[in-house]
């Protein structure tokens, strides 16, 4: 059974870089058309999509964060990573990694994609 696990520092100082890694275990990392994604959630608030990365390294970022984000993938380690620079208190949140999967029917008709597996999340606080 595929599992995702986030790891990284729980506290980051303002203006520094937040770095997180998501480790994928229990199943194939490079099969199909899967993307991998990061989502965050400030305490008591809703979910914000950060970005996604394909196994090839192709990325899509949320425009609101694009200037500060770098995502990367290491297929040899079954991991993908997020770097968010110049952090402020507004970046304090639970950060989730998730697998993106797509649905095609038997005739090849595309129905869209969705987050079908999530990590448990890791709390990152921005504080001096």
Partner 1 sequence: DIQLTQSPSSLSASVGDRVTITCRASQSILTYLNWYQQKPGQAPVLLIYAASFLHGGVPSRFSGGSSGTGFTLTISSLQPEDSATYYCQQSDSAPFNFGPGTKVDIK
| Binding-site ranges for partner 1 (CB under 8 A) | 46-49, 52, 60-64, 96, 103, 111-116, 118-121
Residue (31 or 105) nearer to partner 1, CB: 105
Among 5, 55, 54, 2, CA closest to 27: 2
Which one, 16 or 41, has the nearer CB to partner 1? 41
Closest distance to partner 1 from the beta carbon of 47 (Å): 4
CB of 123 to partner 1, least distance (A): 11
Cα separation, 109 vs 93, in Å, equals 37
- Smallest separation (angstroms) from partner 1 to the CB of 13: 26
């Amino acid at each position: 059974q595929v599992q995702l696990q986030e790891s990284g520092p729980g506290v980051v100082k303002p203006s520094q870089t937040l770095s997180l890694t998501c480790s994928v275990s229990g199943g194939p990392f490079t099969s199909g058309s899967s993307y991998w994604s990061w989502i965050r959630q400030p305490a008591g608030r809703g979910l914000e999509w950060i970005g996604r990365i394909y196994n090839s390294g192709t990325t899509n970022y949320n425009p609101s964060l694009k200037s500060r984000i770098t995502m990367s993938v290491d297929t040899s380690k079954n991991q993908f990573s997020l770097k968010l620079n110049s952090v402020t208190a507004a970046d304090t949140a639970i950060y989730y990694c998730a697998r993106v999967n797509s649905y095609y029917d038997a005739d090849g008709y595309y129905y869209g994609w969705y987050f079908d597996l999530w990590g448990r999340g890791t709390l990152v606080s921005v504080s001096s």
